[in-house]
Amino acid sequence: MLGCGALKGLGCGEGEIKSMRTALGHLRKGVASALLAHIVALACARNYSRLHLETGAGPAFAPAHAFYRRFGFRECGAFGDYPRDDPNSRFMSLEL
């Protein structure tokens, strides 16, 4: 396995990226980019208008934040059932 990810429907034409991971032996080989491109394409095929994600907020997550920004994701407020005031979470979204 090179990596995995999931797309969850949130209703109202929106989706959430869940738990994207790349296998340790395949980091920095384009696996995450290919997975994210596939998930975005799937969200478009499902006619979603927005794609959300939740990730960690600490310094260890800075590479993930930069990665998602390269794909056009922007910071946003909490969505769905996530707590609005969780200091350990960062929320991002992409208009499709």
The pTM assigned to this predicted structure is: 0.92
- Segment 4-17, tens digit of pLDDT: 999 999 999 999 99
- Segment 17-33, tens digit of pLDDT: 998 999 999 988 999 99
| 3-95 classified as CATH 3.40.630.30 | yes
Please give the full DSSP string across 39-89, using - where no structure is assigned.
HHHHHHHTT-SEEEEEEE-SGGGHHHHHHHHHTT-EEE---TTS-TT-TTE
Half-sphere exposure of 16 (CA within 13 A, CB side): 16
From residue 73, give the alpha-carbon distance in Å to each of 16, 23, 37, 40, 83.
Answer: 12, 23, 12, 11, 20
